[in-house]
Amino acid sequence: MKKQYLILGLLLASFQFAQSQFTLEGEFRPRAELFGNGFSSTAAEGSTPWLQTSLRAAINATYKTESYTVYLGFQEVFLFGDRPQISAAGNGNFRLQEAWADIKLAENWSFKFGRQPLSYDDQRILGGLAWAQQARTHDVGVLKHKSKSGFTLDAGYSLNTFGDNIYDTAALFSYRELGFIHANKKFGNFSVSGLLLNTVYQTETAPTKSSLLTAGLHGELSAGAFGFAGNMFIQNGDRIGQVAVDGATLFSLDATFKATEKIILLAGFESIAGKTDDSAAFFPLYGTNHAFNGLMDRFYVGNHANAGGLVDLNIGAKFKLPKGYGFTAKFHNFKEQSLTKESLGNELDLIVSKGFNGFSVVGGYSQFFEPSSLTGADSTQNWAWIMLTIKPKFLVGK
């Protein structure tokens, strides 16, 4: 811990010598949430909800030259009350969140190496997971190409090891090896991306490697007042522990309509394959899953990993209100993807936001309506939250 603070102190002290080449920014983001009454899983009848406040405090430094860019991001995430007031020790959550260098190889080529987020397209398969206070990063090297014609190509590889031991990947959110190729091409008001992602899982208890291939396309189109975005992905191979995945799929289509300058209408559909007699279910792996299938995280956020799949039909609207306010409402209908199409419930998400001079406040309320076939659930399944975000710029390079 002392070494980490020493590194940070040396970094801050060095800015006075090369201010024009440095950018130093921060982030202060507390969020209070009402848990225990339906968020992530069904709350049983008679359960008692609780209020919990978490906070992300970060300081991020960028040093840029003509031939390379170096980025260091220090972050601590803590819960209110997780450390006694007079404790001499921290909570152990201070860490180097990001540390990477992006080296220019040629006019249109660079190599980005180190601890970094992987975020592409709508973040369905690879995303930075910024909603989570700790976010998501990978220890990876990425060869990057960007042409003036609107074509980009990223190819990355990661090998996770821990000393001389087999890296223990006990869950789909971790891996021993990761390799990917992502390409994107823009054609005026249309863009299309392709992703090939291979993940290798291995544990000490199951030393035989499992390899899972995820491949697919993401497209976006704007046509006047209408906007469309869609995904098509397929998985083949083996989950961790040699669990076979044979052609599991994810399909989605989202549409927007700009009714007025202040109103945007929303509609969406997503189908995620569930397990069958011959295959495990599709899982969206390292995406920002909180942004999909309802804000209460009932599906694919550390849960629902090999269940009956999901069909999500949703409608909603976004409103620009006076004095800098924004309001979003969205309603989801959930069913299993299996042939029975069993109801999994409905969800209503409401969000209110307000921008101020230098900071913003956003909050929300979500209500989940359990299917009538479910017994033993609390009569009200809900979640509420409010979050403040301040991103000060301590030093901006010229």
Confidence of residue 295 (pLDDT cuts 50, 70, 90): very high
Span 147-199, pLDDT tens digits = 999 999 999 999 998 777 777 766 677 899 999 999 999 999 999 999 999 99
Confidence of residue 8 (pLDDT cuts 50, 70, 90): low
Which tens digits make up the pLDDT trace of 65-108?
Answer: 999 999 999 999 999 999 888 888 778 889 999 999 999 999 99
Retrieve residue 189's tokens.
């008001």
pLDDT at 397: 76
Task: Name the burial class of residue 141, with classes exposed (0-12), middle (13-18) and buried (19+) by CB atoms within 10 angstroms of its CB.
Answer: middle
Instruction: Write down the mean pLDDT value for the chain.
Output: 92
The closest of 270, 236, 234 to 253, measured between CA atoms, is 270
- For residue 313, is pLDDT > 50? yes
pLDDT value for 93: 86
Query: Is 295 a domain residue?
Result: yes
Give tens-digit pLDDT for 203-219: 877 788 899 999 999 99
Q: Quick check: is 36 in a domain?
A: no
Mean pLDDT for 31-44 is: 97
**Residue 394 domain-assigned?**
no
Structural domain tally of the chain?
Answer: 1
Of 20 and 242, more confident: 242
Average pLDDT on 368-394 reads 95
Question: What is the per-residue pLDDT for 205?
Answer: 76
The pLDDT tens digits for 223-232 are 999 999 999 9
C-alpha to C-alpha distance for 355 and 342, rounded to whole angstroms? 41
Q: What is the pLDDT of residue 105?
A: 98
* Cβ-defined contacts of 43-50 (< 8 Å, 24+): 43/377, 43/378, 43/381, 44/376, 44/377, 44/378, 45/376, 45/377, 45/378, 45/379, 46/378, 47/378
Q: What is the CATH number of the domain that holds 128?
A: 2.40.160.100
For residue 207, the enclosing domain spans 117-355
Residue 277 lies in a domain: yes
Does residue 255 lie in a domain region? Answer: yes
Predicted confidence at residue 16, as pLDDT, reads 47
How high is the pLDDT of residue 181?
Answer: 98
48 occurs within a structural domain: no
Rounded Cα gap, residues 151 and 191, in angstroms: 10
What is the pTM assigned to this prediction? 0.92
Does 40 map to a domain?
Answer: no
Evaluate whether residue 13 is within a structural domain. Answer: no
Q: What integer is the mean pLDDT of 227-247? A: 95
